[in-house]
Structure 1
């Protein structure tokens, strides 16, 4: 089966300034992880797989893809049930920042025959692990904020996306790594109860 990448290096550079020297294959590895471990649990397997089916073997979106899937991916402007104008930016920004978080954390480590080491730069000083983790948390927080908008769009268009469900299982299945504390106060595909005041997760886990 052909691997479909929902974003590429040129898309990525619209949101983050990354080095032109980064190999496409290396960036694609993080995009794939973000799609498999962040986006798929969020959307749910059925909706995620249906979205991928809208792309051909070259990775281009099919000509006859329904507009609702194009809008889900790239964004649109619509009226909500209260008549308010909503500017929805699509799935792409959330996926970009999930990818960037994974890139930051993994790119700080170099695997050698004797084990993993922190990379050092000739023209600068490598960041401390604590500073790297702060950057990762910041990027995940941005990704979650965009994910909130995706969730709102899907809820507002439930009739167009019957496969979309808010699910405890999907929320629990969220990617490993630093967890975002209640600064986001988002549901992120997880229905809060009336007694829930915040979501708080310790920043103690690392990516596989």
Structure 2
């Protein structure tokens, strides 16, 4: 259950997922939802901060679409927009969905490589091909997280460029703590430490400033 006892709001589904990655159509939507939920709760929520995350969810319908009555800046945050940044540059922001897709994909790959048996976890075997080795799985998972992190940098830039509309986005400095293995993002925090202050370097990835 979600906030206030309401059902979990899933911001993406299999149809949206397949706009970015070609996954097997035989994968059950209920199975994919398991990883969407984990990505929302364990990746997206810490990144946005709990307050901003819940405010976004409050402005969404149960199917994950943004409510028609939601403020335009929340529609733009979720779905993307074209806007002028503080330096007058045109920015094509793609929204939260691709970030969530690739965090979900990373978690799906990581879990799908393992099969849990009564005697413990084992590497899955497939009739139509050989399973990836553990290092290959790790590399593939990190690749998907790297893509997610790159899109997450765009979310943070959008929030900085539109910070007057998002007073909740710097909710908790603890959100800046690193999370997963591999390339990492940090939670959004309103400090000069994780956002460059000059025209020449404003669009560098946040990870360049936090490693």
Q: TM-score range by the shorter chain?
A: 0.7 to 0.9
Instruction: Say if 1:148 and 1:187, in contact at 8 Å, map to a contact too.
Output: no
Q: Give the equivalent residue in structure 2 for 1:171.
A: 176
TM-score (norm 2): 0.84
Alignment match of 1:6 (pick from 8, 11, 19): 11
Are 2:192 and 1:189 aligned?
no
CA distance in 2 between counterparts of 1:193 and 1:64 reads 32
Q: Deviations over 1:27-86 (max 9, x none)?
A: 000000000000000000000000000123454432211111111011000011111101
Count, aligned residues: 193
Residue by residue over 1:132-183, the C-alpha shift from the partner in whole angstroms, topping out at 9 and shown as x without a partner, is 00000100001000000000000000000110118541121x544x2217xx
* Maintained 8 Å contact 1:144/1:188: no
Q: Does 1:139 align with 2:144?
A: yes
Look up the match of 1:65.
Answer: 70
What is the rounded CA distance, in whole Å, between the counterparts of 1:62 and 1:34 in structure 2? Answer: 22
Quote the residue 1:23 is aligned against.
28
Q: TM-score, normalised by structure 1?
A: 0.85
Q: 1:116 aligns with which of 98, 121, 126?
A: 121
CA contact (8 A) 2:106 2:145 kept: yes
Query: Which of 122, 125, 133 matches 1:128?
Result: 133
SS at match of 2:182: coil
Is 1:107–2:112 an aligned residue pair? yes
Asked if the contact 1:147/1:188 (under 8 Å) is kept, the reply is: no
**How large is the RMSD of aligned CA atoms in angstroms?**
2.2
User: Unaligned 5+ residue runs, structure 2?
Assistant: 1-5, 197-206
